[in-house]
Amino acid sequence: MAAQAQQETALDSLRGREIGVEQEHLDRVYRRLEEKIHEAEFLMNDAAQRGQVGTPGALAERDAQVFRAGIHLNRLNNEFEDFLFGRIDLLLGKDGKKGPDGAYTAVEPAEGAVRDDSTADIAETLHIGRIGVLDQDYAPLVIDWRAPAAAPFYRSTPVDPGRVVRRRVIRSKGRRVLGVEDDLMRPELKAFLDGHELSVIGDGALMAALGQARSHTMRDIVASIQAEQDLVIRAPAASVTYVEGGPGTGKTAVALHRAAYLLYQDRRRYAGGILIVSPTPLLVSYTEGVLPSLGEEGQVAIRAIGSLVEGAEAMLYDSPSVARAKGSSRMLKVLRKAARGALELNDSPARLRVVAFGRRLELEAEELAGIRRTALGGTAPVNLLRPRARKLLLDALWERSGAAGRHTDPELAAELRSSFDEDITGEDSFIAFLDAWWPELTPAAVLAAMADERRLGRWARRILNPGEVRKVARSLRRDGNSVHDVAMLDELQAILGAPARPRRKRELDPLDQLTGLEELMPVREESQRERAERLAQERVEYAHVIVDEAQDLTPMQWRMVGRRGRHATWTVVGDPAQSSWSDPDEAAQARDEALGTRPRRRFELTVNYRNPAEIAELASKVLALAMPGSVSPKAVRSTGVEPRFTVVGDTLAETVRDEAARLLERVDGTVGVVVAMQRREEARRWLAGLGDRVVALGSLEAKGLEYDATVVVSPAEIADESPAGLRVLYVALTRATQQLTVVSAERDEPDAAGVPDLLRD
Ligand SMILES: Nc1ncnc2c1ncn2[C@@H]1O[C@H](COP(=O)(O)OP(=O)(O)OP(=O)(O)O)[C@@H](O)[C@H]1O
């Protein structure tokens, strides 16, 4: 006993000493940061005081300096949770070259760095942190985690250690170092630092991070990014980076860290913005804090797929069959027809009557229909075809007037024609006719028109079946938009095009005012070039698009997202086994169309960091049913706690509530109760009063989220709710980091141990 106590005291004092060493370094870093904050403040003031006078070039330079110093200051002032989090101790490198961050660049050790008796000296120690800090002599005090010199911190493994001997994760709060965890990359080596043997503390940082209780927001993983993840994060942003991996393999985390990495690498290139598309608003708020914790804000927009269209936030869910009809590429054809058909709603005038050159001219319904057909030929946006339709109307009226043959001299004929056109286009009745006959259509108006079942039936003939028509029309009569409506609105915007706007009135000439001429002038329509320029300004496109949970995008959603990154590079992360879309092949085709022929680089993540082996094993039974033949990711840890099975007692409400309460006592963090979508509302009521550590979620809302413990309510009900139900159940079963309880109802056909049919061997 005494020997053990002695050993523990020795370990404690060793740990204390190592913490002290890191504390000293952190103190130096903060002193240097303060100096830099003063420098930045000085620069700002200095630049601001340089007065108003000066050449335009000098003023621009001053503004740029103030701007840069402002950003810098902002970053330095950011109170980072744990500013400094890592350290690597390295052997001497092959060549003696240093990179821009002041660190040696060689990945492999120099010959002779390891002596024959397996001893070696540490030649370089690097500290890794959220941003880089240099001392007065430009030696690195902290290396930015995204810098090339930090890569060995993430890449090095005992199998392929490179120059790294010891990898240390430093835990700190504010300015205080709380602990260190070491991993030895070359355990066979006896290494010396400044004459002392290198010490090793703890069992590694990854396990410490994974065991922590979860809150309602995601944490960054900078301190423990694993080698296969690091490869994705630092992959060059050429074309399309495609990442697949099972639940909990860190796809979302990797996507967020990649955004921060790309900005660090090439801030100028990504000034065009990075868009991260997330499946639900819940996942957006869960992940929102990660980028600011990595020192990045502003240039990255994280948006739910239902919030990509300005002014059309999705608040509703569609039933699976409605979602399937609205999301499939068949809907594109329906929308094209609807956009054209919407021109002819009930109040469209049946005839055109005008007076020109003192004669009454008329066009009847049939002629008007012919002109409309001609104008609509081709695929140009409907709102942009109005000038063409107007021209065709004038041609027909000109023909009718009989004036066409009056002059043989082309110049005179042209003059006559132009005064004929002016006569008509100035007439109120013609303008009113055009507005009614070729109204300017908005996406919302077309969607509203589709809510009429008979009309939709016409537009969707031979595309949707009558049952689908009925259900889709009914769903469009609700107040508010669903996620799938938003993709339809965006498509309609593309089909309709931005309407041609009248040019801004020119400055009024006093003479015009006298004569009132301005009012008599017909309003000139916007030219093609002006319109193109305006559209270019209004376009919402990004330099890089990251799609999270990409397996869930419907073909219509791929088209919507595709329009936001026509010239972008892409990172697409997903897991086909978790797809809630009924027809993954159709969606894959739409994805390929959205991404074009750009070359892809594929990565696979293989380790499950979220679920303990006990939960992962249970989930793999559903995976085998949902996607026979696919391989589950390997769980990295085990808790010894098996999933618990219970059967509904008196009422479902009571059983679920009791199970949630039980789990709240067993974990420190969050508990998620996952139910079929149709039970979302009641499930919230079941949990009333249990506090904010527990939440109720519909199965589709659970996407991407995680909890310390989960209660999955009636697997059969979740699986039966949609054609993709088994894959949705697989998602539900893989949300817990520690404990899982499955509640079975009668339809689950539980056995004597309460295990539902779907989860038995
Ligand atoms: N290298 C790592 N170090 C520490 N934690 C990690 C690491 N990689 C992943 N994690 C943790 O594992 C959990 C799962 O990560 P994430 O949500 O990114 O996985 P995912 O692949 O997107 O999962 P899903 O497909 O189920 O949504 C998170 O809590 C994340 O912080």
Shortest-distance Cα residue to atom 15 of ligand 1: 250
- Among 101, 114, 243, smallest CA distance to 186 is for 114
Tokens 């492999």 identify what position? 108
According to DSSP H, which parts of 132-201 are helical? Answer: 151-155
CA of 449 to the centre of ligand 1 (A): 44
Q: Are strands 569-574 and 352-356 parallel, antiparallel or unpaired?
A: unpaired
- Phi, psi dihedrals of residue 192, rounded to the nearest 5°: -120, 140
What value of ipTM does the predicted structure carry?
Answer: 0.99
Torsional class of 317: left (φ above 0), alpha (ψ -120 to 50), beta (otherwise): beta
Whether the Cβ atoms of residue 548 and residue 283 lie closer than 8 Å to each other = yes
Ligand 1 atom at minimum distance from 247 CA:
26
- pLDDT at position 547 is 96
Element (H, E) at 170: strand 164-173
Closest atom, ligand 1, to C-alpha of 734: 26
pLDDT at 80: 62
Q: How far is Cα of residue 639 from the mean position of the Cα atoms in its chain?
A: 32
Both ends of the chain: CA-CA distance in Å? 47
For residue 25, the CA-to-ligand 1 centroid distance in Å is 30
Q: Are strands 190-193 and 119-121 parallel, antiparallel or unpaired?
A: parallel
Q: Which residue from 228, 229, 252 has its CB within 8 A of the most atoms of ligand 1, so it is best to mutate?
A: 252
Can you tell me the distance from the alpha carbon of 215 to that of 217, in angstroms, rounded to the nearest whole number? 5
Distances in Å between the alpha carbon of 675 and those of 438, 657, 681, 745, 746? Answer: 48, 12, 10, 12, 15
**13 CB neighbour count, 10 Å cutoff:** 10
Cβ–ligand 1 contact at 73 (below 6 Å): no
Question: What is the DSSP pairing of strand 694-698 with strand 671-675?
Answer: parallel
> Which pLDDT value is given to residue 518?
34
C-alpha distance from residue 231 to each of 85, 165, 299, 430 (Å): 20, 20, 23, 65
Binding residues: 245-252
- Please tell me the distance from the alpha carbon of residue 756 to that of residue 621, in angstroms, as a whole number: 12
Closest CA to 245 of 256, 253, 237, 235: 253
Predicted pLDDT of residue 611: 95
Q: How far is the CA of 251 from the centre of ligand 1 (A)?
A: 6
Distance (angstroms) between ligand 1 centre and the Cα of 141 equals: 30
| CB distance 610 to ligand 1 below 6 Å | yes
Predicted pLDDT at 499: 58
463, amino acid identity: I
Helix, strand, coil content of the chain in percent (nearest 5)? 45, 20, 35
Question: Cα separation of 533 and 196, whole Å?
Answer: 68
Q: Is 245 in the pocket of ligand 1 (CB under 6 A)?
A: yes
Q: How far is the CA of 286 from the centre of ligand 1 (A)?
A: 13
Mean pLDDT per block of 10 residues along the chain (761 residues) reads 64 84 92 81 71 61 65 63 86 82 82 89 91 85 90 84 91 85 84 86 68 80 86 88 95 93 84 88 89 75 90 87 94 94 79 83 87 82 86 89 75 84 86 87 93 95 96 94 96 82 42 35 44 50 92 94 91 92 83 85 93 96 92 90 95 96 95 96 95 94 94 97 93 97 96 95 84
What pLDDT does residue 332 have? 96
Query: DSSP assignment of 567-614, as one string?
Result: T-EEEEEE-GGG--SS-HHHHHHHHHHHHTT--EEEEEE-EESSS-HH
